[in-house]
Homo-oligomer: A and B are copies of this chain.
Amino acid sequence: MAWRSKRSVSEPSAPPTVVQKFGGSSLATPDRIFNVARRIAETRQTVERVVVVVSAMGDTTDELMALARAVNAEPRSRELDMLVSAGETIAAPLVTMALHGLGIEAISLTGFQAGIRTSRVHQKARIVDIVPQRILDELDGGRVVVVAGFQGATEDLDITTLGRGGSDTSAVALAVELGAQECDIFTDVTGVMTADPRVVPSAHVLEMLDYTEMLELAALGARVLHPRAVEIGAAYGMPIRVRSSLEVHPGTLICRSQGMEQRPVVRGIAQETNVAKITVIEAPDRPGVAAAIFEALAAEHINVDTVVQNVSHRGRTDVSFTVAATDLAHAESVVQKAADSIGAEGVQSADDIGKISVVGSGIMGTPGVFARVLSTLAENGINVEMISTGEIRMTCIVARDRVADAARALHAAFELDRA
């Protein structure tokens, strides 16, 4: 995370401020925009200073991407940013107009106008600075400030976007910069759940999670909140509440771990089917070889996930890792070049796989969790192709068509099914 707030969250001078982010499905129609405006109006009754961050309406971003691909199969990222940023630039004034209709003073700002300065990496830009003066002036003037999420601008005034889920990042970064009490992420689900309820019917909403747990769940496929937003929240201790824009429910509060309270070791099950595996076969086992592969991928902004390197035989080793299935074609050509240059035997890939993970702060310190994951999967006849473990999670790569079975089995095995 490049951006470092100049402000301390606990700075006592910051007047009570709330940042609320509304996602695209909450804004998909004029009726839903009204509904969002009413939620903001309710907040405004008790909080003087309200900043709202909005995503693009419904499928606008996808529609703009489709238009781009209709005129150019490989549009350049700078032009894509200018194009797709329009989605949020449309949503922000519409929410503002709806607030005006409720008699609430409000003003919309683009990311640039809101002072969000980013790096030059188009499509995946990082926030490097926030110059909040305009927002502060508007708040001082008694207005609700509606900021177009997902977007910012470089030093050269070029428009950038923060990548998918970037509106979450805009919201949490603004909450930190403005010294807000809390950042509310309104979405179309009730909160963060123990598993995907479409796959595990007994899944239920978690009342509270710590940042690392949320980070793992988000990174592992729980799309409710973008990992970078959680990272920023964790770095500055900004409480983030994930809640529904459609129902009245406290949702899930993501905050610093509350210590030693008694709670289940495994907090949630995450799954991801947009996964493909690449294996570099018989790479020379010497320093710098794996680095050459991963640096080439990083240079193309391809995220690498689970990595497994087998033990070396006769100075050669297989390196396997996963990437998003949607990145597979691009990743294969990058890896093939790198494999050639380091003198590996070949490159194989598979895209019929998925990921299943169990997450919880106490996993590492609790004997038997890893064993119970593997025995549960084995009892259900699910073969594990790769394993990776982290401080608070265990991830297994399994056949894509068994991911849902695995989620249900693990949800039950770790007693997450609702009583």
Known: A83-B93, A93-B83. A71 touches B113 (CB 8 A): no
Cβ-based interface call for A353 (8 A): no
Interface-located stretch among A14-22, A94-102, A207-215, A263-271: A94-102
Cβ-based interface call for A76 (8 A): yes
Distance of A57 Cα from B131 Cα, bound (Å): 34
A96 touches B112 (CB 8 A): no
Q: Mark A56-78, 1 if CB is under 8 A from B, else 0.
A: 00000000100110111101101
Known: A67-B94, A70-B30. A89 touches B100 (CB 8 A): no
Q: Mark A84-123, 1 if CB is under 8 A from B, else 0.
A: 0110011011101110110000011010110000000000
Closest chain B residue to A71, Cβ basis: B98
A83 touches B90 (CB 8 A): yes
B97 touches A68 (CB 8 A): yes
Q: Which residues of B contact A417 (CB under 8 A)?
A: none
Size range of the interface on A? Answer: 35 or more
A30 touches B92 (CB 8 A): no
Cβ-based interface call for A158 (8 A): yes
Distance of A178 Cα from B30 Cα, bound (Å): 42
B89 touches A86 (CB 8 A): yes
A82 touches B93 (CB 8 A): yes
Q: Determine which residue in A82, A90, A94, A98 has the highest number of CB atoms from chain B within 10 A of its CB, and name it.
A: A82
A79 touches B96 (CB 8 A): yes
Distance of A411 Cα from B108 Cα, bound (Å): 50
Partner of A94, one of B71, B93, B101, B134: B71
Cβ-based interface call for A157 (8 A): yes
Q: Which residues of B contact A33 (CB under 8 A)?
A: 71
Q: Which residues of B contact A73 (CB under 8 A)?
A: 101
Cβ-based interface call for A80 (8 A): yes
Which positions in A face B, CB cutoff 8 Å?
A: 30, 33-34, 37, 64, 67-68, 70-73, 75-76, 78-80, 82-83, 85-86, 89-90, 92-94, 96-98, 100-101, 107-108, 110, 112-113, 134, 157-159
**10 A-B pairs with least C-beta separation:** A30-B70, A72-B97, A79-B93, A86-B86, A83-B93, A82-B93, A71-B98, A72-B101, A75-B97, A86-B90
**Can you spell out 10 A-B residue pairs with CB atoms less than 8 angstroms apart?**
A33-B71, A72-B98, A72-B101, A75-B93, A80-B93, A82-B110, A83-B90, A85-B89, A89-B89, A113-B157
